[in-house]
Amino acid sequence: MTTQNLESETPTPEDSKMWTARLRNAWQRNLPIDKLLPDTQPAYVASWIYVFGVLTIAAFVDILISGLILAFAGPAWYHTSSLGLFVNSLHFWGVQLFFVFMVVHLWGKFWMAAWRGRRTATWITGMVAFLASIGTAFTGYLIQTNFDAQWIAFEAKDGFNAVGIGAFFTPTNIGQIMLIHVALLPLVLGVITVMHVLLVRKHGVVPPIDALPEIEA
């Protein structure tokens, strides 16, 4: 609150110029709580194709939890003990499911042209999530420390040098790649996913292409 408001009549939230008030007002306008946490959806949402976004999130949660266990226990555990191999497998197969779900989700959104009605940012954040996932999977394969990983690293090194970014990303530097894989990229992917879902909440689910114009949001 500014002192100027204290002197005048009762300050309305719109009066305040503080960044907290401006953020609050913008949030209230764009994403009121009933839009953020709805308990009903339009009839057309009752289809399996709308489940694939949340299936992707479920696979992501599996990857995060199993990855956290792998990071704390270390390769000496997850490469040797049977429980370690099991958690390693939860992580690996979670990634396979993550990509399968994400691609079916992408196909669904593509064929219903889900970027209609000012939903461009939803589509773009989805695309960025896809690219970030590829980077995360790539760095994951690099830290398997087997012959596959070595082969991929040395092929990628040549590719990175050819496009001029070899000075910043060195696939053969396992310390760098492991930190990017466990710290940076999961965070980036998590933040993008939150933005993506908040945008879906803000705009509401896109109406089918053959819906009446007045249903169009």
Partner 1 sequence: MSGWLSDFMNVPAKYIHFNSWLQISVSNLIVILIMVALFAAAILLPFPGSHSKSNSHRGDK
Residues at the site binding partner 1, with contacts judged by CB under 8 A: 43-44, 46-49, 51-52, 85, 96, 100, 103-104, 107-108, 208, 210-212, 215
Q: Are 26 and 40 in contact (CB under 8 A)?
A: no
Q: Is 181 in the site for ligand HEM (CB under 6 A)?
A: no
Distance between CA 84 and CA 80 in Å, rounded? 7
* 171, 142 Cβ separation under 8 angstroms: yes
Binding partner selected for residue 183 from partner 1, ligand HEM, none, CB under the kind-specific 5 to 8 Å limit: none
Binding flags for ligand HEM, 60-89, as an x/- string (CB under 6 A): x-----------------------------
Residue pair 92/70 in contact (Cβ under 8 Å)? The answer is: no
Please give the Cα distance from 86 to 64 (Å, whole number).
15
Residue window 132-171: x/- pattern of binding to ligand HEM, with contact defined by CB under 6 A: -x--------------------------------------
Least CB distance to partner 1 at residue 178 (A): 21
Pick from partner 1, ligand HEM, none: which does 169 bind, CB < 5 to 8 A by kind?
none
Q: Check the CA dihedral 111-114-115-118 and report its sign.
A: positive
Identity of the residue numbered 70: L
Give DSSP secondary structure letters for 172-191. Answer: T-HHHHHHIIIIIHHHHHHH
CB of 83 to partner 1, least distance (A): 15
Interface with ligand HEM, residue 99, by CB under 6 A: no
Q: What does 126 bind: ligand HEM, partner 1, none (CB cut-off 5 to 8 Å by kind)? A: ligand HEM
